[in-house]
């Protein structure tokens, strides 16, 4: 697993973790906090636009929600098992269970609304 560490502005690092087929279970399904998984590909323009959004959200919601990314080209098993055929697809997981999903890029305000819909403590 690789992580891009960033400052939260409060002295605490926030990260956007990259998960793989091998680490998905541990990082996402066993997470003690809710997780957003961004299914993406490097060649996908909207997927590249989502990364700064997820980084900002990770900075402001660090500790309440974990933000992760999974490259569908390199991790076909997980993408296939979750039925991800369009990207970007965001899957919202809490306590190992999918709470919902969103296909396509959203504005930050819309993304925050969806987070509140799926995760009680956000």
Convert the pLDDT of each residue in 5-59 to its tens digit.
333 333 334 578 999 999 999 999 999 999 999 999 999 999 999 999 999 999 9
Q: Which residues are catalytic?
A: 44, 47
Q: Could you give the angle at which helices 108-118 and 45-61 cross, rounded to 10 degrees?
A: 60
Q: In what order do the strands lie in the sheet with 97-103?
A: 2-7, 13-19, 66-71, 35-40, 89-94, 97-103
Q: Which pLDDT tens digit goes with each residue over 61-85? A: 988 999 999 999 999 999 999 999 9
pTM of the model: 0.86
- The answer for residues whose C-beta is within 8 angstroms of residue 80's C-beta and 6 or more apart is none
The CATH number of domain 2-103, selected from 2.40.50.140, 3.40.640.10, 3.40.190.10, 3.40.30.10: 3.40.30.10
Using CA atoms, how far apart are residues 52 and 88, in angstroms rounded to an integer? Answer: 14
Using CA atoms, how far apart are residues 92 and 99, in angstroms rounded to an integer? Answer: 5
């Amino acid at each position: 697993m690789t992580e891009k560490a960033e400052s939260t502005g409060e002295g605490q690092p926030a990260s956007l973790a990259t998960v793989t087929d091998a680490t998905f279970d541990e990082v996402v399904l066993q997470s003690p906090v809710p997780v957003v998984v961004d299914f993406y590909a490097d060649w996908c323009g909207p997927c590249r636009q989502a990364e700064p959004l997820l980084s900002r959200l990770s900075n402001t919601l660090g500790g309440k929600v974990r933000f992760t990314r999974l490259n569908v080209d390199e991790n076909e098993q997980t993408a296939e098992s979750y039925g991800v055929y369009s990207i970007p697809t965001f899957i919202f997981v809490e306590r190992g269970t999918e709470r919902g999903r969103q296909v396509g890029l959203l504005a930050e305000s819309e993304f925050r609304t969806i987070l509140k819909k799926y995760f009680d403590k956000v």
